[in-house]
Structure 1
Amino acid sequence: MNGDIVNKKNSIKTVEVNSNSIMKFLIPSLFGIIMFLFPIPYEGAISTPVGILSEWLVGVLNPYLGYAVVIITTISAVMSIIGTVFKPAFIMNNKLLEDNFTPSKFYLIWRIVGAIFAILVLSETGTEVIYSGDTGGTMMFLMSTLIVWFFAASYLMPFLMNYGIMDYTGTVLRGFVKPLFKLPGRSAIDLVTSWIGNVNVGVVVTRTQYNAGYYTGREAATIATCFSAVSLPFCLVIAAMLGLDAMFVPFYLTIVVAGVLSAVIMSRIPPLSTLPDTYHPAVGKQIDEAEPEGVSKGQWALQKAVQKAYNAGDIQDQFKSGTDIFLGIIFSLVPIVMAWGTLALIIATYTPIFTWVSYPFGYYLHLLGVPEAFEAAPATVVGFADMFIPAILASGLTSVKTKFVIGVLSLVQIVYMTEVGTLLITSDIPVNFKHLLLIFIQKTVIALPIIVVMANILL
């Protein structure tokens, strides 16, 4: 078995499984796992090395990050105008520049809007509706943090994806993940990365894997909307905001139970179950987790891993891969997230729309026996705009049980448009706004009874 894989199309050489090839797979992969998944106590909470690194960079660069958001969004808008309207050779003949600065007219408009919003917020010019701390000011803070998170994650992500650990775990865990979630085994690493680390990093991992041909559109959409959760430190922040930090263990246990059970259900019903179950057309299927006849699962997993590591390239290749990921994120996503997020928060803050649409959920909460049902109802739907707002609204409630239910729900819903929703809509994953709205409603309806039952048991 050792070393008889040959891919003539890509001129991949035979790789023998020996101590050297195993170390080439194992050392970088362990580094990637430690950076993204290893839990470390940090400032009274549990974080990961990439989280600690990102928070440290945020602290160091904080005075300059607002200017960075303005510079990035302005460059994106100006270069996109040049690339889309004038199509100069220096952009059209460079794949990286062409990919980043030739958007459709629809996204060109929103890049311009994002740049305008960023400038108005930083300079506090124009109407307070835009630059208020509840709207554009919040988005400026989020974008400042996300730029740093994406910078750290982009350059560390290749160690998690390019050296074989996802191929190894995919083969080993296929028999568990496939029947439970209707997903490939390699999503197990993606799941844990999304769950423990930053939710946006998890979505970027999923986007990258879809673009590389390792997930189908249905699988990528399922992982990004059902498996992604916010980081452990943020869960603690939400619990503290609601005065529930003393009961964090049952709080987080409920998040896990509700998240896993809702994923099992939602992966089997529309719209997720009916999304195209095909691979990215640009690359086709690149995944093969089923072991050949006569070969053990462990042998095949190791062979796949060392093969992947052998073809990963040197450290310069990983740096280039990280640079491509990072630039693709900041120039295409930051201005869009700034624009859509600010508008979503303006709607949530200055209009009664979320109060109106939440009224049916007041009856639903009442039916489930949740105290202060109609007072809490807006917090069940406003999470579609941003994940902070439900906790802010629920902090004024008096019932501990209701705060518990709303807090957990807000951390399980996680399809909010200020970040995750925009990351998905602007990706090649075949989901649109209608899909995300329906998924958000479904997850709310499915998760609420589970959360209420857990609250009744644990509180």
Structure 2
Amino acid sequence: MNAKETTAKLGFSTKQILKFVMPSIIGLLLFVVPLPWGGGSITIGVGYLASQFKASFGKGLPGLMVYVVITSAIITLLSTIMKPKLIATSEFFRELFIVTPLILAIRVIAAVFAYAVLYSETAMGLDKISNPNTGGVVVNDLFPVLATWFFFSGFFLPLLMEFGSMDYFGTLIRKFMRPLFKVPGRSAIDAIASWIGSGPVGVVITDQQYKEGYYTSKESSIIAVCFSLVSLPFAVFIASFLELSISFIAFYGAISIASFIAALVLPRIYPLNKKSDEYFEGVDVKINEEVPSGRSVHGWALERGIIRAEQAPSFIGLIISGLKTVADVYFSLMPIVVLLGTVSLVVAEYTPLFSMISKPLIPLFDLMKVPDASLAASATLVGFADMFLPAIFIKGSQFEITRFIIGALSFTQLIYLTETGAIILRSKIPVNFKDLLIIFLERTFITLPIIVIIAHIFY
């Protein structure tokens, strides 16, 4: 329908309106609205559920997820070789377990790595893999977080995506998002879910929206690498870990301002500006945020939301969809996280690679009058491997301004192979490893001067 056409206003029953309003409110409370859940720190509902589950069962989660990775490797190996009827006749199981030789190799190697960490005393010759600072970080630290976040997200995401809230808010703020960031208005929901909740969850939302025909290749790429920021609760943890005496508002303000500017610049430069404007192959274009003439923005947004809610799956359909999402994440994503994360951390821990390639940055830090320039330079590029590594590198610095700069920068860099990077590579979003590396460097050089300027204002 042409945006200039006058479209007659539709009438809706109370039942139809409630079907849009009630699930959308619950979805927003779970994924978008930050609240002091349980009287604790500010977070979103899914984050609170994940933290409570982790607190109750966290000790057993690393072992459980190791066995999930091992099970994934065994089933994938047998299915790919033998193609049993149960697997081959189901489109979902076929795509999940009958894979290419590369994916098969990743899952088998990941299973070996995971086993080596869980049973380090019997994993002869794999000491570097099972080290608490390498594979141990992935299995003992990342696994419990990802397992709980994705479990609850898998079942509750439809409340945010299927019942019209993204269509409603997307239509309302399209006129701001499109000229600023070259993306639809609904992407603001992705951004908020990432910033307040979890970056990986934001990527999953973006991937699903892309596969369903709401984003183009370019739009999904922009959203994934510009909006999927590490969560607010983790920022609180990093600020505490680095012993920053300055107000947290200043710390997170620096992260937000620098990330906002990066989101303005990156869609306009390579490689994002070269991505296709085509939609995912084989899907119908579903997005419709343009407001017809003769209609109010709010009225049209409400109508879009209610119509979307009417198309939502049944309760059983939502449960089945949730099970598939969780299975896909556990059996296909977790092995990639293990492999990429462990290899990256081994390189950071046992080789001088990051120190060597960061040497050209030392004069830059000296020019910007950042103390401990050599240490800051090393901490800058190691963030490509894992988001937490820069904080570990820089924690020993006696200069708080340096800890502030590197801590904030580690958030604005956004691309981490142990989490966001691995999930993007696993998704259908058309961003490859070379793109991730280039974007990581671009984000670093765009946001670093901004953070340094802000840091010098406060120190």
Aligned twin of 1:8:
none
Aligned twin of 2:85:
89
After TM superposition, give the deviation of residue 245 of structure 1 in Å.
5.2
Which 10-residue stretch deviates more, 377-386 or 279-288? 279-288
Contact 1:213 1:287 in 2 (8 A): yes
Aligned twin of 1:9:
none
Structure 1 distance, partners of 2:179, 2:296, is: 20
**Would you say 1:140 and 2:136 are equivalent positions?**
no
Aligned twin of 1:10:
none
Q: For 1:304-341, what per-residue CA distance to the aligned partner results, in whole angstroms no more than 9, with x for missing partners?
A: 11111011032212112211211111111001111111
Aligned twin of 2:74:
78
**Would you say 1:41 and 2:36 are equivalent positions?**
yes
**Would you say 1:27 and 2:22 are equivalent positions?**
yes
Contact 2:170 2:185 in 1 (8 A): yes
Contact 2:113 2:129 in 1 (8 A): yes
Contact 2:47 2:197 in 1 (8 A): yes
**Would you say 1:106 and 2:105 are equivalent positions?**
no
**Would you say 1:128 and 2:124 are equivalent positions?**
no
After TM superposition, give the deviation of residue 292 of structure 1 in Å.
2.4
Aligned twin of 1:5:
none
Contact 2:259 2:412 in 1 (8 A): yes
1:17 counterpart (7, 12, 16):
12
Aligned twin of 2:320:
320
Contact 1:236 1:245 in 2 (8 A): no
Structure 1 distance, partners of 2:286, 2:82, is: 36
Structure 1 distance, partners of 2:106, 2:11, is: 50
Structure 2 distance, partners of 1:159, 1:398, is: 47
Which 10-residue stretch deviates more, 38-47 or 348-357? 38-47
Contact 2:66 2:139 in 1 (8 A): no
Structure 1 distance, partners of 2:444, 2:76, is: 38
Aligned twin of 1:283:
283
After TM superposition, give the deviation of residue 20 of structure 1 in Å.
2.1
Contact 2:196 2:233 in 1 (8 A): no
Q: For 1:162-209, what per-residue CA distance to the aligned partner results, in whole angstroms no more than 9, with x for missing partners?
A: 000000111111001101101001001111111110111111111111
TM-score, normalised by the number of residues in structure 2? 0.94
Structure 2 distance, partners of 1:40, 1:301, is: 26
AA matched with 2:448: L
Structure 2 distance, partners of 1:359, 1:107, is: 35
After TM superposition, give the deviation of residue 297 of structure 1 in Å.
1.9
After TM superposition, give the deviation of residue 48 of structure 1 in Å.
1.4
Aligned pairs (5 A) from 1:71-220: 71-124=67-120, 125-126=123-124, 127-141=126-140, 142-220=142-220
After TM superposition, give the deviation of residue 369 of structure 1 in Å.
2.0
Q: For 1:60-87, what per-residue CA distance to the aligned partner results, in whole angstroms no more than 9, with x for missing partners?
A: 2223212211221112111111222222
Contact 1:15 1:307 in 2 (8 A): no
Aligned pairs (5 A) from 1:238-253: 238-244=238-244, 246-253=246-253
AA matched with 1:27: M
After TM superposition, give the deviation of residue 265 of structure 1 in Å.
0.6
SS in 1 for 2:42: strand
AA matched with 1:18: S
SS in 1 for 2:268: coil
Percent identity of equivalent pairs: 41
AA matched with 2:403: K
After TM superposition, give the deviation of residue 146 of structure 1 in Å.
0.8
After TM superposition, give the deviation of residue 398 of structure 1 in Å.
1.5
After TM superposition, give the deviation of residue 15 of structure 1 in Å.
7.4
TM-score, normalised by the number of residues in structure 1? 0.94
Q: For 1:3-34, what per-residue CA distance to the aligned partner results, in whole angstroms no more than 9, with x for missing partners?
A: xxxxxxxxxxx974232211110000000000
Contact 1:262 1:443 in 2 (8 A): yes
SS in 2 for 1:428: coil
SS in 2 for 1:379: helix
Change in Cα spacing, 1:160 to 1:206, as seen in structure 2 (3 Å) is same
After TM superposition, give the deviation of residue 38 of structure 1 in Å.
2.3
**Would you say 1:444 and 2:435 are equivalent positions?**
no
Structure 2 distance, partners of 1:220, 1:83, is: 32
Aligned pairs (5 A) from 1:297-446: 297-446=297-446
SS in 2 for 1:418: coil
SS in 1 for 2:185: coil
Change in Cα spacing, 1:281 to 1:245, as seen in structure 2 (3 Å) is farther
Provide structure 2 residue ranges, at least 5 long, that are not aligned to the other structure: 2-8
AA matched with 1:133: P
SS in 1 for 2:213: coil
Q: For 1:20-65, what per-residue CA distance to the aligned partner results, in whole angstroms no more than 9, with x for missing partners?
A: 2111100000000001122223676321111110011112222321
Provide structure 1 residue ranges, at least 5 long, that are not aligned to the other structure: 2-13
Structure 2 distance, partners of 1:427, 1:230, is: 18
- Give the length in aligned residue pairs: 447
Structure 1 distance, partners of 2:189, 2:322, is: 19
Q: For 1:263-287, what per-residue CA distance to the aligned partner results, in whole angstroms no more than 9, with x for missing partners?
A: 1011111111111221110314221
After TM superposition, give the deviation of residue 380 of structure 1 in Å.
0.5
AA matched with 1:422: A
Aligned twin of 2:4:
none
